[in-house]
């Protein structure tokens, strides 16, 4: 299915910037005032400058077969200190519970014996990896890097949309967005104490080094990339450079006696940690796809022999399965004996006969997603779909109920965004990144705010034309006296307009309103 758009009542979406027309929320007041001082010509000049900085630095992504600068918007997203503290705690809680779950799945299976989750849901998942059973590094976590996608609902509450525990991407844009914004919009930072984001590469390197086999004192870490044609190749290059480690392709590595070696001009030298950006099925032609030219033959055996650590671990995708996503609140209660800090979006399991019978007759009322989908692919948004699409969806769901979930349509929150020479509201989500070194989970203060650029679109993915915003987490807790969401009394369920900013630029856009 191609890109889908849903017409959402503009009054439903939470306006991140304004609590009511013309009244910015406290944390946005200085930024709104600064932006309103710019004339149309200066806004366009600064927007062009951002694009030029990205082109010069090679900050690109692959879209429709060509490399393009990643669109960065002028107006940042701001999150107060206290709200971020809640988000960070919720992400840490979720990552630790999912780490416990994955270790349990591939070792003891206690959660199955205790009836928390059916074993059949795991073994039937497309991402369950039998080859990962029995691979138990001495102290390395299964989830080194995670990206937990969040949205704000109509009340302004953050909710988890999905978990990304295989090869989450996008952190390079977080780093480069901040670099470009400080270069082009230094004045915006004048009255703000914003947490930096440049600590991420060294945090990642420290976690990777700590995950090396126990007897190794000075581990060699490499970043394994599929190559220059991968959509995230820019990120692979940037992270390797900032960590000061080798960027390698599969042909650069060889296994000798269950040890992975790096080919160099001075001979072979041992590799102890592989931060892989290659999917499971392509990673080792001995165990997975024999036609893979981007993997390393024998690397799974080396991991089983505990001579090399693969980060993230094999088989993590089972926890990305959107059917397993519905069980995460129960997994938090089971493994952590805590109530979830962050809630899921309301989701329905179509492998349940009673729920299936209800949903299948009302597909037009739901967003239906394949459980193993990513990047917005395969989603059918019922309220917008035509009869032909709904008939095809019904046939697919009836043939494989376990392969789909249904969710209620959510009017994602909006932020003012500079599009086609005007400022107008656009829907956004947020992907914070967390690093787990096996002892602690650290959440990068900020994350990647993705924005759907076409008017009314709910598709934020860069692969489907989305852009991004610099995400500021304020260091000063005083700013959090009036939170921008999560039940804040200082706002209303207002239209997603940009109020004074839009009226200055183009009154016709004042009433405008992802995945």
Per residue in 463-481, pLDDT (tens digit) is: 566 799 999 999 987 654 4
Lowest model confidence (mean pLDDT) among 51-55, 269-273, 340-344: 51-55
What pLDDT does 361 receive?
92
Residues 482, 25 contacting (CB under 8 angstroms): yes
**Does the pLDDT at position 203 exceed 80?**
yes
**Does the pLDDT at position 448 exceed 50?**
yes
Residues 467, 50 contacting (CB under 8 angstroms): no
What pLDDT does 464 receive?
60
Separation of alpha carbons 448 and 210, rounded Å = 26
What pLDDT does 67 receive?
67
DSSP state of 74: S
What pLDDT does 477 receive?
73
The share of the chain scoring above pLDDT 90, in percent, equals: 70
**Does the pLDDT at position 348 exceed 50?**
yes
Residue 82, both tokens: 């206290």
**Does the pLDDT at position 510 exceed 50?**
no
Mean pLDDT score, 58-76: 77
What pLDDT does 339 receive?
98
Residues 197, 249 contacting (CB under 8 angstroms): no
Q: Compute the Cα dihedral for 275, 281, 287, 290 and give only its sign.
A: negative
Mean pLDDT score, 77-102: 97
Q: Locate tokens 């299948």: which residue? A: 360
The share of the chain scoring above pLDDT 70, in percent, equals: 87
Separation of alpha carbons 114 and 112, rounded Å = 5
Lowest model confidence (mean pLDDT) among 162-166, 422-426, 439-443, 483-487: 483-487
- For residue 75, which of 47, 101, 55 has the smallest C-alpha distance? 47
Lowest model confidence (mean pLDDT) among 163-172, 264-273, 327-336, 366-375: 366-375
Residue 8: pLDDT band by 50, 70, 90 thresholds? very low
Comparing 122 with 65, the larger pLDDT belongs to: 122
pLDDT in tens, 487-502: 433 333 222 322 233 3
Separation of alpha carbons 384 and 1, rounded Å = 13
Mean pLDDT score, 32-44: 88
At the topology level, CATH places domain 346-407 in Dna Ligase; domain 1 (3.30.1490)
What pLDDT does 187 receive?
84
pLDDT in tens, 224-241: 999 998 989 999 999 999
**Does the pLDDT at position 280 exceed 90?**
yes
Q: Locate tokens 């900050």: which residue? A: 59
Write down the mean pLDDT value for the chain.
87
CATH of domain 214-307: 3.40.50.11290
| CB burial of residue 179 (10 Å; 0-12, 13-18, 19+) | middle
pTM: 0.88
Mean pLDDT score, 440-444: 97
Comparing 110 with 373, the larger pLDDT belongs to: 110
Lowest model confidence (mean pLDDT) among 56-70, 145-159, 171-185, 412-426: 56-70
Residue 290: pLDDT band by 50, 70, 90 thresholds? very high
**What are the start and end residues of each CATH 3.30.1490.270 domain in the chain?**
346-407
Residue 284: pLDDT band by 50, 70, 90 thresholds? very high
Strand ranges inside 119-266, DSSP E: 145-152, 158-164, 221-224, 246-248, 253-256, 259-264
Residues 6+ apart with CB under 8 A from 150: 87, 158, 159, 160, 161, 342, 429, 430, 431, 432
Mean pLDDT score, 204-214: 96
What pLDDT does 501 receive?
34
Mean pLDDT score, 238-254: 98
What pLDDT does 466 receive?
77
**What are the start and end residues of each CATH 3.40.50.11290 domain in the chain?**
214-307
Strand ranges inside 391-507, DSSP E: 404-407, 414-419, 422-431, 433-436, 441-443, 448-451, 467-469, 471-473
What pLDDT does 463 receive?
59
Residues 351, 384 contacting (CB under 8 angstroms): no
């Amino acid at each position: 299915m191609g890109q889908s758009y849903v017409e959402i009542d503009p009054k439903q979406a939470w306006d991140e910037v304004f609590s009511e027309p013309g009244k910015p929320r406290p944390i946005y007041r200085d930024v709104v005032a600064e932006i309103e001082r710019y004339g149309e010509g200066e806004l366009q000049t600064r927007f062009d400058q951002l694009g030029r900085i990205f082109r010069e630095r090679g900050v690109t992504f692959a879209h429709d077969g060509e490399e393009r600068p990643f669109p960065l918007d002028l107006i940042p997203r701001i999150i107060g200190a206290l709200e971020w503290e809640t988000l960070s705690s919720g992400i840490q809680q979720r990552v630790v519970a999912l780490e416990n779950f994955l270790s349990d799945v591939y070792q003891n299976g206690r959660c199955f014996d205790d009836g928390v989750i059916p074993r059949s849901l795991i073994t039937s998942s497309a991402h369950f990896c039998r080859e990962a059973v029995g691979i138990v590094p001495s102290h390395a976590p299964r989830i080194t890097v995670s990206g937990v996608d969040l949205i704000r609902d109509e009340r302004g509450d953050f909710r988890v949309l999905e978990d990304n525990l295989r090869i989450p991407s996008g952190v390079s844009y977080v780093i480069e967005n901040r670099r470009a914004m400080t270069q082009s919009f230094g004045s915006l930072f004048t009255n703000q104490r914003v947490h930096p984001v440049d600590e991420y590469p060294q945090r990642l390197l420290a976690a990777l080094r700590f995950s090396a086999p126990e007897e190794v004192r000075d581990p060699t870490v490499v970043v394994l990339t599929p190559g220059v044609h991968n959509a995230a190749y820019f990120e692979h290059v940037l992270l390797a450079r900032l960590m000061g480690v080798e960027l390698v392709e599969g042909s650069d590595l060889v296994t000798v006696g269950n040890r992975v070696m790096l080919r160099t001009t001075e001979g072979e030298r041992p590799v102890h940690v592989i931060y892989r950006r290659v999917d499971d099925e392509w990673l080792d032609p001995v165990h997975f796809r024999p036609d893979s030219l981007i993997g390393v033959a024998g690397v799974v055996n080396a991991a089983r022999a505990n001579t090399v650590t693969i980060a993230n671990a094999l088989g993590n995708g089972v926890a990305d399965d959107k059917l397993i996503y519905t069980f995460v609140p129960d997994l938090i209660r089971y493994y952590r004996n805590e109530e979830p800090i962050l809630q899921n979006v309301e989701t329905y399991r179509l492998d349940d006969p009673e729920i299936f019978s209800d949903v299948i007759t009302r597909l037009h009322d739901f967003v239906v997603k394949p459980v193993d989908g990513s990047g917005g692919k395969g989603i059918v948004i019922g309220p917008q779909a035509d009869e032909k699409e709904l008939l095809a969806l019904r046939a697919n769901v009836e043939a494989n109920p376990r392969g789909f979930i249904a969710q209620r349509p959510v009017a994602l929150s909006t932020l003012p965004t500079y599009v086609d020479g005007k400022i107008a509201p656009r829907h956004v989500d947020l992907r914070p990144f967390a690093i787990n070194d096996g002892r602690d989970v650290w959440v990068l203060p900020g994350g990647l705010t993705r924005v759907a650029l076409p008017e009314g679109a709910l598709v934020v993915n860069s692969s489907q034309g989305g852009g991004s915003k610099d995400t500021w987490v304020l260091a000063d807790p005083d700013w959090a006296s009036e939170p921008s969401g999560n039940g804040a009394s200082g706002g209303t369920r207002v239209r997603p307009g940009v109020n004074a900013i839009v009226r200055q630029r183009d009154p016709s856009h004042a009433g405008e309103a992802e995945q």
